[in-house]
Chains A and B, each alone.
Chain A
């Protein structure tokens, strides 16, 4: 450098070559052209690859749908789930349960789920004040971005490559952090094993080609389970042909459990 920078219209680089203003603008234009033509589309492709839903890449990729209009609140699902998954019989521990929503004409919302609905529901008091009422089955929401997985300090709960969130009972330290983190309240603390437990879509069944126990026993077909990577599967068709929604979409958990006919009061 000769200390003459900025005073003449040639810049002397350390390589010693003359770099005229004209050449500088030429290089700049070409660089901009390359950036615009090549790099931007590449970047967009990379983002699309990263953000495209996993079921485009991995087969199978499990999903679940619930048709609220078909749920009759019989509780067969919760009963079958308890038997299939050795869930303690006491009425505090459930992997899946049925909630009854009663919305009064004055806007008051009542939700109950006595013993998950296994023993039925008591009659609704003063039915003349009810605006609308319905049953909503609840289970693991199959979050794509699971808060429970994010908070586990040891890696005992995780999302498998086929999209199901599982719990490693041998590695869980029982800190209950995941139970706090789940915004859908689907986790409970197992009273004898002292580990967290929750619906795992009957992983031992779906990997053998069977349906989850709750789907198997649902008498009205309100529960639909299947492979999202197959556009012709029952769950893919149901989700694409109906107006469905997920629970608490504002949390960004991206559940793969969708509900048809969901009321705004459902939490």
Chain B
């Protein structure tokens, strides 16, 4: 009988230990953890729900088809609107709001802005059309001669 009491005591300790482990684990491990893998499954939905800032190329064409038609025949054909104009999701959602208009193309002086791609640099690949900003009509804004949406100069 004495030996049986020892065994029972051990069993009780084991039961208490296992139960408290399960309870503590329940409290500490967040909901949805481990549903898919070793992470919170809910985090995926959380990350997905972040609002979009750049609307994407197709969003602009619906209203600005004239610009996209002009651009499609030029050297700038492959460049998406938001490359120069900045994020446009807010503008696409509320086209009438003046605050939501993409204004990135106005943030810098024109010559610096165009120079981001077109200023002379030995690191740029040779296909890129480049000019020395100090030599190439240094005082004039680029748009005096080049139309941004159709930059080829007509002679």
Q: Give me the interface of A with B, judged by CB distance under 8 Å.
A: 69-76, 80, 83-85, 100-102, 120-121, 123-124, 127, 130, 133-135, 155-161, 166, 168-171, 200, 203-205, 207-208, 210-211, 213, 216-221
Contact = CB atoms under 8 A, between A and B. Distances in A.
Contacts of A84: 52-54, 87
- The interface residues of chain B, by DSSP majority, are classed as loop
A71 B128 CA distance: 10
B125 A70 contact: yes
B83 A210 contact: no
Interface in B99-131: 115-117, 119, 121-125, 128
A168 B124 contact: no
Contacts, number: 116
B138 interface: no
A171 B54 contact: no
Contact of A123 (B54, B78, B121): B121
B81 to A, nearest CB: 9
11 contacts: A69-B125, A76-B116, A127-B122, A133-B122, A155-B33, A156-B39, A157-B39, A159-B37, A203-B47, A203-B48, A220-B78
Interface of B: 30, 33, 36-40, 43-44, 46-54, 56-57, 78-80, 82-83, 86-87, 115-117, 119, 121-125, 128
Nearest to B130: A72
Contacts of B122: 124, 127, 130, 133
8 tightest A-B contacts by CB?
A158-B39, A168-B43, A204-B50, A133-B123, A217-B83, A219-B79, A155-B38, A74-B117
A169 B43 CA distance: 8
Contact of A217 (B47, B54, B115): B54
Given A71-B125, A204-B52, A218-B83, 4 more contacts: A121-B123, A133-B123, A135-B124, A168-B46
A80 B82 contact: yes
